Amino acid sequence: MIRSVPAFIEGYGPVEPFAGAFARLGPATRRSVTRHPVRPGQGKLLPSIRAAIEACGLKDGATVSFHHHLRNGDDVLRAVMAEIAAMGFRDITVAATSLFPVHAPLADHIRNGVVSGISATYIRGPVADAIAAGALPTPAVLLTHGGRARAVEAGDIRIDVAFVAAPTADPYGNINGVQGKSACGTLGYPMVDARCADRVVAITDHLVPYPACPIDISQEDVDFVVPVDSIGDPQRIVSGITRVTTKPEGKAIAAMAAAVIDASGLLKDGFSFQMGAGGVSLAVADTLKTIMSERGIVGSFAAGGITGTLVEMLEAGLFRTLFDVQCFDLKAVDSYRRNPAHQSMSASQYGNPHACGAVVNQLDAMMLGAAEVDLDFNVNVTLGNNGVILGGSGGHSDTAAGAKLALVTTALATNTHPKIVERVSFVTTPGETIDAVVTEAGIAVNPLREDLRERLRDAGLPVVSIEELQHKASCCDGVTPPPPVNPAEGRILAVGQYRDGTVIDVIRANPG
């Protein structure tokens, strides 16, 4: 069951309520964009971020965008917002792809009125805390990767200026992410912003002679280029290595998830797969790797944020292609740099529900995480049981909607709280798009997937009901039901927007 949401939310506007994962897929409009032509002989290089802000004609109330490919190493959002604040602008909306702890200074800009609006697909750290504390005068808007691309293309989010952190750029605005000290790999997220923003500024710490080949974002969309000393901390831009889980419980869950994929009938030539960078997902990938090698299965593609594990599978011939919206580690960056079978994809190509068919639609199996799952298979990856904003959908809802087999892997409980609950405190991803939940205590299959349940039973896998899992979760040693968070009444702090632009849930302030 999805909660009802108000018809109008102050500071957000009229609400179209979520009505089903595929209820709103009529002809969709890509908005008209105004370009500022550049004549022969006219340059784009500017000496400072301030000069670029001035050249873009930024105004109070404007929307500026940023991407998160530099992850917790990004210094561009800080630098730009510091300049915007120093120039005295007010009432700015920050349309970020994701916000990390490194973006802490943004919390101050919220508190002092420079920033009055935030949207992102994932928010964690001090900015999330500021939002949860009610510091933002308007509700934060939590999107999905594909939904943000849709919103930017449709003009629901109108970006006045996109500031693109550019690991490499030339003086005429061609950008790539594979060269320079801040190399981060593909640039799937800002590709969309660069196409749709009114003005686009590349900020780079590696200015190279024209042209910055290979080109990920083209000069035809970039207005200005600003060289700076550093766009971030390379140590934090990509993690060096990702690790398979070593916990016995995690290993058991991973083994069961791999068995579910095997039993689903999807694991054959042409198989496609996506996972996160978590330890359980990596363990699943390891098992699939063994099965695919043994049986000589060649998959079509692996997608998503790409890890070294998937690169190894590509190089071993287990997949023909990688679709990469974002490199998760250095091995992925290196692979994208040199292997033509490792392709970039924009956030729109990845998950936009209003595109003429996104990559997620071609996914066979998707591995998903969860903070909570409820009896309707709804998943929460947004709100913690202590009221903390944990992150958000990212591509969670997009891949769940697209994949033939959307598998949630989770332990029954944390040390203190159940993870399978009667009702999630916030619906990130609707249960109708989740096919099964894999726990150490068995696999619950969504009643919508009777076919899958049969297959798993035939394979001798421990299929149980979601109710049974919920009951077991509540009985784990030391586990107590969490205190209520996200009440039915109260000020709305954040609006959860489903990928189609409807409102699927809200986060409200707790009383007192």
Tell the smallest beta-carbon distance from residue 358 to a second copy (Å). Answer: 7
| Alpha carbon distance 196, 155 (integer Å) | 8
> Residue-wise over 101-114: b if at least 16 C-beta within 10 A, else e?
ebbebbbbbbeeeb
Nearer to a second copy among residue 385 and residue 399 (C-beta): 399
Nearer to a second copy among residue 204 and residue 242 (C-beta): 204
3-state secondary structure of 266: coil
Q: Does 309 bind a second copy (CB under 8 A)?
A: no
Indicate which single residue of 9, 33, 228, 297 sits in contact with a second copy (rule: CB under 8 A). 33
Q: Does 320 bind a second copy (CB under 8 A)?
A: yes
Q: Does 22 bind a second copy (CB under 8 A)?
A: yes
Q: Does 179 bind a second copy (CB under 8 A)?
A: no
Residue with tokens 């933002």, as numbered in its chain: 136
Tell the smallest beta-carbon distance from residue 94 to a second copy (Å). Answer: 23
| Alpha carbon distance 18, 177 (integer Å) | 36
Q: Does 30 bind a second copy (CB under 8 A)?
A: yes
> Residue-wise over 359-381: b if at least 16 C-beta within 10 A, else e?
bbebbbbbbbbbbbbbbbbbbbb
Q: Does 296 bind a second copy (CB under 8 A)?
A: no
Nearer to a second copy among residue 64 and residue 115 (C-beta): 64
Nearer to a second copy among residue 23 and residue 87 (C-beta): 23
Question: How far does CA 437 lie from the centroid of its chain?
Answer: 21
Q: Are the CB atoms for 272 and 322 separated by under 8 Å?
A: no
Nearer to a second copy among residue 28 and residue 51 (C-beta): 28
Q: CA of 89: how far to CAs of 65, 214, 306, in Å?
A: 15, 36, 38
Q: φ, ψ for residue 175 (rounded to 5)?
A: -130, 140
Segments of 270-317 assigned E as strands? 272-274, 299-306
Q: Which range touches a second copy (CB under 8 A), out of 83-91, 203-211, 284-292, 372-380?
A: 203-211
| Alpha carbon distance 292, 262 (integer Å) | 10
Q: Which range touches a second copy (CB under 8 A), out of 24-32, 56-64, 287-295, 441-449?
A: 24-32
CA end-to-end span of the chain, whole Å?
A: 28
> Residue-wise over 168-203: b if at least 16 C-beta within 10 A, else e?
bbbbbbbbbbbbbebbbbbbbbbbbbbbbbbbbbbb
3-state secondary structure of 480: coil
Q: Does 37 bind a second copy (CB under 8 A)?
A: yes
- In one-letter notation, the amino acid at residue 150 is R
Residue with tokens 């928010």, as numbered in its chain: 123
Tokens of 9: 């939310």
Tell the smallest beta-carbon distance from residue 270 to a second copy (Å). Answer: 6
Q: φ, ψ for residue 390 (rounded to 5)?
A: -90, -25
- H-run or E-run covering 313: helix 308-315
95 Cβ neighbours under 8 A, 6+ residues apart:
63, 64, 65, 66, 119, 120, 152, 157, 159
Tell the smallest beta-carbon distance from residue 399 to a second copy (Å). Answer: 10
Tell the smallest beta-carbon distance from residue 495 to a second copy (Å). Answer: 23
Q: Are the CB atoms for 170 and 158 separated by under 8 Å?
A: no
Tell the smallest beta-carbon distance from residue 17 to a second copy (Å). Answer: 19
How many C-beta neighbours within 10 Å does residue 85 have?
A: 18
Contact track, a second copy, 209-248, x by CB under 8 A: xxx-xxx--xxxxxx-------------------------
Indicate which single residue of 239, 300, 414, 510 sits in contact with a second copy (rule: CB under 8 A). 300
Contact track, a second copy, 136-175, x by CB under 8 A: ------------------------------------xx--
Q: Are the CB atoms for 116 and 93 separated by under 8 Å?
A: yes
Nearer to a second copy among residue 323 and residue 377 (C-beta): 323
| Number of residues lying near a second copy (CB under 8 A) | 63
**Bridge-partner residues for 201, per DSSP?**
163, 224
Site for a second copy in 335-394 (CB under 8 A): 340-341, 343, 345-346, 348-349, 352-362
Contact track, a second copy, 54-93, x by CB under 8 A: ----------------------------------------
Indicate which single residue of 100, 122, 301, 377 sits in contact with a second copy (rule: CB under 8 A). 301
Tell the smallest beta-carbon distance from residue 385 to a second copy (Å). Answer: 32
Indicate which single residue of 61, 270, 481, 487 sits in contact with a second copy (rule: CB under 8 A). 270
Nearer to a second copy among residue 3 and residue 30 (C-beta): 30
Nearer to a second copy among residue 281 and residue 346 (C-beta): 346
Cα torsion at 428, 129, 148, 152 (round to 10°)?
150
Nearer to a second copy among residue 61 and residue 357 (C-beta): 357
Indicate which single residue of 4, 34, 246, 415 sits in contact with a second copy (rule: CB under 8 A). 34
What does the binding site for a second copy look like in residue numbers (CB under 8 A)? Answer: 22, 25-42, 44, 172-173, 200, 209-211, 213-215, 218-223, 270, 300-301, 320-321, 323, 340-341, 343, 345-346, 348-349, 352-362, 401-404
